[in-house]
Structure 1
Amino acid sequence: MFTSKRTILKVDMKTDVGNSREVNEDCFDFRIPQNEFELRTKGQLFAVADGMGGHAAGDVASRLALETFIDCYYSDSMSETVEANLENAACAANGRVSEEARRNPEKKDMGSTLTSAVFLGDTMHVAHVGDSRAYLLRDGRLTQITRDHSWVGELYRRGALTEDEARNHPMGNIITRYMGRDGKFDADIYKERITPHDLVLLCSDGLSNALNAGQIRKILLRHGPSRACARLIALAKRLDGSDNISAIVIRVKRVEGESFPFWKTFRHVVGSRRFQIILLMCAVGMGFLLLAARNLRDIVARIPW
């Protein structure tokens, strides 16, 4: 996907070990391409992951998942859509964590959630696995974009639990989908049009289990990304703090519709590995056609009429 629009963002991100844990198994990462062409074809990516498994496995799982996911998403691919790239990246991350768990018996139970947001032009693409969350605040209204992949989340969606009951449920930490899982794997992909002044929150369940939607909305309405991150984590620690807490707050400042020179697009396309492979295949195919045509002329020339 190629866009002539540039998304201008203001971002802050923070993580905290919380009040009870010795190790922070949460991890966040981002990539803002410095290459103009990559910026307009891949966009800006932000992601948070929450590892699990204990014995130094959770922090390894979340870091591996994020590194693999981001590297795969930005790998050379000219024809895939953003959605397809995100799905491929999620599958690669799942496979990488699964492989690490198989190679190390002491880490056999390792896994990780992952929730990411790609900002490309006037569109946000969200990839999601597990119970970390993505929220959107627009015109004073807070919307949870993602759906928790958990047993308690399913009960809440069916109306069997209230929001507070779901947040405080003793089985709230049992998730049904995560990175590092063998067998069939799917990530949820969401697509949302963005407008100036939108606020996006990516967070681990250490934050969303401690604060309700009203508390999150109030802080996002009152503060910019930097102060909002600090206030969200501080309040989550004060009210609970039993888990690691991570937050990424992103404000959409504006979407600029600049033209992108054709010669730059052409230069990057010609320089891509995929284009070079296609060009080589075309050259080989053309060579076979020319050889066949010459042989056909020789055969025709020998036929007596």
Structure 2
Amino acid sequence: MVFQKRHVEPRFPPRHVLVLHGLCVPFCKGSSKLSRKRSHGKMPANWSVSWAGATDQGKVRSQNQDNYYGDPRGRFLIVADGMGGHSGGEIASQITVDAVIGVLNELDWDEVPEPEVLINQCVTAATDGLKDWVKTHPDQSDLGTTLLLWIRTQGRVILASLGDSRIYLLRENRLFQITFDQTIESELRRRGATREQALKSPGSAYLSRCILASRTCEPDIISIDSRDSDTWMLCSDGLTREVDNEVIHEMMTRLFPRPPKDTVHALVERALQNGGRDNVTVVVAKLQSTTQINTENL
């Protein structure tokens, strides 16, 4: 996470939940007309998740402020990219990951709440965790973190995003960027500004939303029907600053037949080869219509 993104501008209203039937890139033209009925999905009852994840400090940063976690049963994945001085970023991302794990480990997976309810519970727990830390560490009041959540339920996947970490989906050899960067520049461009206009706006590189101790930000929440052989990728901006979408697509497609750990390793290595200017974290999960669950941590 770059230094200039510590400041957060509270300019924009929260997003609503989108339920994507089949598949549609969220927030594209016409997405507001999508049905918001609960999705039933097309995934068979017996299916599993194989996943792998890795994080690297990179070649420039003095510490790694990224954190990630994957549920051993393949039910949820978390990525957080922290920010803040005096090791605040590393602390913020770890507190956030731990808080979300606490919420999801207590969840009744036979009665999963609606996406808004579940995600808001996770965000509130993370925000409260940062607030509690700052009470005893006031010199770290500027700490914060991005947050990505991937939660598998029957027939669908619930996603949540705060910040500029990203979620991608590889389906039938097509790569979809499911989330968008929650920066001032990106928000302005989504509202019709040209790239040049957005870049000239004060604080264009700042995050517009993230997990903070000072206030609660509304996440983007997305629900997508699951399909066999879907491959998901969650990453911090340490990957996307160094590797563009076209290269990510080529690599994920080429490595699709191989275990997720191979894709993770290749993407992290490519980010390092291209400069490694930031911490880089990559988590890849593949859905399979089998009963065996295989989790691989690097």
TM score, norm. by length of structure 2: 0.74
Structure 2 distance, partners of 1:54, 1:130, is 18
Q: Deviations over 1:78-131 (max 9, x none)?
A: 765151222211111112113212321221111111101011232111121111
Distance change >3 Å, CA 6–CA 91, structure 1 → 2: farther
Counterpart residue number, 2:263: 228
More helix by share: 1
Counterpart residue number, 1:219: 251
Q: Deviations over 1:216-242 (max 9, x none)?
A: 101100113111111111111122311
Counterpart residue number, 1:74: 105
- Aligned-residue identity in percent: 27
Pairwise CA distance, 1:156: 4.1
Structure 2 distance, partners of 1:64, 1:242, is 24
Counterpart residue number, 2:80: 49
**What are the residue-to-residue correspondences of 1:1-305 with 2, within 5 Å?**
5-33=45-73, 44-76=75-107, 81-83=113-115, 84-157=117-190, 158=192, 160-161=194-195, 173-223=205-255, 224=258, 225-254=260-289
Pairwise CA distance, 1:67: 0.5
Pick the structure with greater CA Rg.
1
Q: Deviations over 1:118-161 (max 9, x none)?
A: 11232111121111111111112111111221112224434623
Aligned residues: CA RMSD: 2.7
Q: Deviations over 1:187-215 (max 9, x none)?
A: 22110111111110000011112111101
Please tell me whether the aligned partners of residues 91 and 185 of structure 1 are also in contact (alpha carbons under 8 angstroms). Answer: no
Please tell me whether the aligned partners of residues 91 and 186 of structure 1 are also in contact (alpha carbons under 8 angstroms). Answer: no
TM score, norm. by length of structure 1: 0.72
Q: Which runs of 5+ in 2 are unaligned?
A: 1-37, 292-298
Please tell me whether the aligned partners of residues 137 and 199 of structure 1 are also in contact (alpha carbons under 8 angstroms). Answer: yes
Matched to 1:161, the amino acid is R
User: After TM superposition, where is structure 1 displaced by more than 4 Å over at least 4 residues in a row?
Assistant: 76-80, 170-173
Matched to 1:217, the amino acid is H
Q: Deviations over 1:173-196 (max 9, x none)?
A: 521111124334312211011111
Structure 1 distance, partners of 2:44, 2:226, is 15
What secondary structure does 1:5 align onto? coil
Structure 2 distance, partners of 1:195, 1:226, is 21
Q: Which runs of 5+ in 1 are unaligned?
A: 34-42, 257-305
Aligned residues: 242
Relative contact order, higher structure (CA 8 A, sep 6+): 2
What secondary structure does 2:195 align onto? coil
Matched to 1:123, the amino acid is R
Distance change >3 Å, CA 172–CA 230, structure 1 → 2: farther
Please tell me whether the aligned partners of residues 16 and 245 of structure 1 are also in contact (alpha carbons under 8 angstroms). Answer: yes
Matched to 1:154, the amino acid is E
